[in-house]
Structure 1
């Protein structure tokens, strides 16, 4: 079976997920790119740093193709959650450049292997750690899309910017007054449904 088309489709969705994460940083100050906006500290630059680690592990170690540069935040001595935020010494440019470097190495693995290529995810339970490149691609795309959704919400909390991608916000048309009334209507509905009205 020719796997050229399915692999190209998967790579397109993978790249769209990557681009969505990076785009959410556009136009933000260092503070806003790093600011934790959830009780668990979710922040935009941390999501990008995390994604770099995800791809390096799944497309590197899983297939016996370790990436050229190690990521100290993933090492055994790293503090918990070190991959979910950037230190003051790690610039946004450095984190993004590292992620783009990871893309190139991940794409090299994807291009070099067939979708049926066997791999082993060492951090998964033994009963399901044996995988194929196809499974890993689907898993990573799903993971990155989940984090792109986190980034969309965090960015909206930062400055109100929302949307699918640059030039295509995928939102219904509405001026600020329309959105204010819409949100107020949702609040009233929630209160009514919750017995608070």
Structure 2
């Protein structure tokens, strides 16, 4: 049956993205998993924190299965998503990962127990009446979007690429530098096609 195939396919994609995200933390110091690496403060552990709320919110109250501990809502007075994209010094990496794992476990229970067409309601969406299918697609996309951010952040930290958490070797670094130089040269050529003018 296509519905069960779609549900399992999406769920497996989500499991893979979750594991890949946590893999981005492997081998890094406490400082490196927390340090802001973009103008807006994006950091690896903050991405895990953010996706904890995503899992808990979308696979919890949306389907009448509230998360065990209260979580902030988009319609809470004074809510700012950026407040949940970083981790304070008073919380350990292990605590943040445990929270994420717990949220994912509850999400898995929701996914496993409900049919793909189970109804839910997402009040902040333009079309709030949804099915589990819609939410699964949304969370797979959201997780992979932030996994892409994590890929870039990890590359900035130590050169590790994609699913391989091993930092780049010196030879890799030389080859990537040459590749990057070719890309820069092409960009420069397009931005100034007539260098004599």
Q: TM-score, normalised by structure 1?
A: 0.88
Measured against aligned partners, the alpha-carbon deviations of 1:42-101 in whole angstroms (never above 9, x if no partner) come to 100000000000111110011010011223697936662111000111111100000000
Asked if structure 1 preserves the Cα contact closer than 8 Å seen for 2:119 and 2:130, the reply is yes
CA contact (8 A) 2:26 2:165 kept: no
Quick one: distance in 1 between partners of 2:132 and 2:116?
Answer: 5
1:188 to 180, 185, 189: 185
Match of 1:133 in 2: 132
Q: CA distance change for structure 1 residues 73 and 58 in 2, over 3 Å: closer, same or farther?
A: closer
1:113 corresponding residue in structure 2:
114
1:15-63 CA-to-partner distances (Å, cap 9, x unmatched) read 0111111110111111100111111111000000000001111100110
Task: Give the 3-state SS of the residue equivalent to 1:89 in structure 2.
Answer: coil
TM-score between the two structures when normalised by the length of structure 2: 0.88
CA separation of 1:108 and 1:78: change in aligned 2, threshold 3 A: farther
Matched, 1:22 2:19: no
Unmatched 5+ residue regions in structure 1?
Answer: none
Tell me the equivalent position of 1:178: 175
Q: CA-to-partner distance for each residue in 1:145-175, whole Å, 9 max, x for gaps? A: 00000000011111111113568x9xxxx73
